[in-house]
Amino acid sequence: MTVTEPLSTLVSAARKGDQHAWDTLVDRFLPLVGAVVRGHRLGAADGDDVSQTVWLRLVEHLDDLREPAALPGWIRTTTRHECLRVLAARGRMRPTDPQDEAGGLDAVEEDVAETALLAAERHAVLLAALAELPEARRDLLLLLLEDPPVAYEEISRRLGIPIGSIGPTRARALDQLRRTSALRGLAAGDAAPAEGGAR
Partner 1 sequence: MSEDDELFAALGEAVAARADDDRRRAAAKAAFTWRTVDAELAELLHDSALDAGAAVRSVAAAPRTLSFGRRHDQDSVTLELEITDGDLLGQVIGEAIGTTQPGATTTVTVQRPGDADVEVAVDAGGFFTVPGVGTGPVRFRVQGAGAGMTTDWITL
Distance CA 102, CA 184 (A): 34
Contact between 184 and partner 1 by CB under 8 A: the answer reads no
Contact between 9 and partner 1 by CB under 8 A: the answer reads no
Q: Do the Cβ atoms of 155 and 166 come closer than 8 Å?
A: yes
Contacts of 150 (CB under 8 A, 6+ apart): 143, 144, 158
* 3-state SS class at 62: helix
CB of 66 to partner 1, least distance (A): 16
The overall longest dimension of the chain from CA atoms, in Å, is 60
CB of 69 to partner 1, least distance (A): 21
Contacts of 178 (CB under 8 A, 6+ apart): 184
Q: Work out which of 8, 9, 52, 165 binds partner 1, going by CB under 8 A.
A: 52
CB of 103 to partner 1, least distance (A): 14
Q: Work out which of 7, 65, 117, 126 binds partner 1, going by CB under 8 A.
A: 126
CB of 162 to partner 1, least distance (A): 20
Q: Work out which of 65, 144, 150, 186 binds partner 1, going by CB under 8 A.
A: 144
